Structure formats: structure tokens, C-alpha cells
Amino acid sequence: MAYLFTSESVSEGHPDKVADQISDALIDNFLAFDPESKVACETLVTTGQVVLAGEVKSNTYLDVQKIARDTINKIGYTKGEYMFDGNSCGVLSAIHEQSEDINRGVDRATKEEQGAGDQGMMFGYATNETYNYMPLALHLSHLILKELATLRHESNEIPYLRPDSKSQVTIEYSDDNVPQRIEAIVISTQHDNFDDEEKMLKKIKEDIIGILIPRVLAKVPDDIRALFTDKIKYHINPTGKFVIGGPHGDTGLTGRKIIVDTYGGKGAHGGGAFSGKDPSKVDRSAAYATRHIAKNLVAAGLCDEVLVQVSYAIGVVEPMGIFIDTYGTCPFNITDGEIAQKVSQIFDMRPAAIEKRLKLRQPMYSETASYGHMGRENKTVQKTFEQPNGEKRTMDVELFTWEKLDYVDKIKEAFDL
């Protein structure tokens, strides 16, 4: 019997994502001037206020207030009427030096012997139902909000948009797990005040369906476009008025959108957030590494869908184990346990090896902090950072290295595909 599956996304202006972006902007600035920085930075945002807290071990000094304000302004919180804007909000820093008890478990005589920054389990997932090997419902939820943000930043077609928004997409699947159609799309977008609430709701619904959705359709391949039928149930700002939003409407915290950040409820999640953590924290680095493994396994044709788990003990170099679940989609005479054994031989999952393989000591994290960490485009960009003393550093940074399909040939060779 057919079934429905739903995923959601939130925009860069959602309060939790504002917090994530500030935390990751701090990570990038620390890494730009000291690539060996150890950072765990949490951010809280609320009406007119930003609170930074965490632990840092670094040889560089940053103007954390300016970084937070610049991030907020870039998102679009630039008006006093939002009750939260980058130029006037208070920024309180309670960042202090990293605990020596934690650091002693990570640092070693050689980089290769670096222990895991914490215990825990991390999951990676991939499916061939989309071109970027991501679950379709989450992919579309992200795409809807990215296009909405582009309209807000770059176009006057919908001039009343404000930064905060959420989306949700429900897909109908067949018994054999193939997407059949889109059942429902939910979009809630913050907006300027209207005198007439009834006219406001009508206008927003018309613009979302008539302007935003065609832009989304133009960005997807034909097979996905075919799922957009005239039977989709649209719920546009279903609660009505959405003028009060962002950190004024709801307090935001780093790390509260871990399912939005990963696979939209598909696969599994180990529970650890990503933003605000340097790559010695395996919550982040190993989650990227398992996504890299999963994507390459599916792209190599070994299976249609796969979940990869790795686990660590704090201060211990080698992982506790690797687990593979292909959900019965591997067409070859090989068990998931045998796949896991070969994967452990192909991919070095020691923390330092992951950092090196995926180039994780770059200032590459601001781009991950909204619209998902997985399924993104691997590309190189030029970024410039500035210290309080005026020193500037410009560098080429490779983004989303865990999305590369650079191990497909090795996997095919290992499994005789």
C-alpha cells in the first residue's frame, strides 16, 4: 500500500538558524587565522540580544561582536521594526578557554594519533531517488526556501518578505519506495504588516504559488517536475498573520535543527549537532565522513539506499565500529556485514584521517549553517577574513568536500562491480 513521508526545512532567518550561522561564522574566522583552533561555540538569540558561550583553544583573537553583527545583517535582519537587527542588538560573549581535561584526550604527539573529541555515534545516509542522493522531501523543502530567500534578497517580485520562514513537503511513495507525487506543501513566511488580513493571505498565497513554485520547478529535473500536479494541497501561512518572527518571535539556539541539517527524518541521527564545532569534534567530522561513504556506495551502484554508522570513544583513535544497512537494496550476493568490513578497509575513519581526507581544517562552515549540510554543491570559493588589528587573509576554500564522488572507482574495484 502506498505511504506518505514528510520532511521540513527552515530558512536562514529562522532563529535557530541565525544561531547556527553565528556559531559557524566564528568557527570559520578562528580556522582562517589558526587552522588548528579547537572551538565549541553556542549561540542564543532573542529579542534584541545575542549571547555567545563556549570553549576555545586558539592562537588568534577575534572581534566576536562584529562577526555576530555582520552575520545577522547578511541574513537580512537590518530593520529596527524586526525587534532584532545586527546594528543595534546587544552581543554578550561568555567564551572561555577549552578544558584541559578534554584537550588532553584529543591532542597527541603526532596528528595521526589524534583521539576523538567525544564519544558517540554518527550516521550518514544516501538514496538514489534524487540527483544529489538526498531524500526527495527534504531536497524540495530546502529548495523552496532557498528560492524564497533569493526572491527576498535579489528581487522586488515579492517585496513584503521578511527573513523567517519554514517549509514542509509530503511525498506519496509506492510500495517499492518510489516517489509517485507530491501530496502537500506547507510554506509559512514572515511578512510586512498588511492593513487587511484577508487580502494579505490571498496575496501571499497567490505569490507563493504563482511566483515561487515556478522558480522551484525550473531548478528540478523532469522526473521531479512531473510530481508537481494540480492536486497538491498547498497550506500557505496556515495560521494567518506572520509579522512577528525571527529571534523576536522565538528564541533561537545553536544545534536545534539537526534533522533539517541532515536527512529530514530518513536514515538515522546520532543526536549531535554540527554548527559551532571544529572538526576535531566527531559529531561533525564523522557525520560528514559517513555521508561521504554512503553517497559513494550508492553512486557506485552497490545499493539504492544505505545507512552508515560509526562510533567513537573520547580520546581513542580508532572507531568502535562501522555498521552498514542497505535496506535490502543491494542486488549482489554480499551481506551488509561484509560491506561494512570492506568499507573499514577503504576509508580510514581515524579523526585526523577524516580531517585530512575531507580538508576539514578550512574555514568552510558558514555555508553549511543553513539549507542543510548534505546534498550541497562541492565547489571552491574565495573568502576574505579580517582580524581586529586590520590583518586580512584571502584564501580559496573548497566547500562540501564530503559530497565528492571520488571513491566510486575504489568501491567498484573492491566489490568487483
Binding residues for L-methionine: 55, 98, 250, 281
Nearest to 128 by CA among 408, 409, 415, 413: 408
Contact 92, 99 (CB under 8 A): no
Residue 119 gets the label, from left (phi > 0), alpha (psi -120 to 50) or beta, of beta
Q: Annotated binding residues, as ranges? A: 14, 16, 42, 55, 98, 164-166, 241-242, 250, 256-257, 273, 277, 281
Beta 179-191 vs 233-236: how paired, if at all? parallel
Contact 231, 172 (CB under 8 A): no
Contact 102, 62 (CB under 8 A): no
Q: Annotated binding residues for K(+), as ranges? A: 42
How far is residue 358's CA from residue 360's CA, in Å, rounded to a whole number?
Answer: 5
Handedness of CA 97, 103, 104, 108 (dihedral sign): negative
How far is residue 12's CA from residue 376's CA, in Å, rounded to a whole number?
Answer: 15
Q: Annotated binding residues for ATP, as ranges? A: 14, 164-166, 241-242, 250, 256-257, 273, 277
HSE at residue 26, side-chain half, CA atoms within 13 A, is 33
Q: Annotated binding residues for Mg(2+), as ranges? A: 16
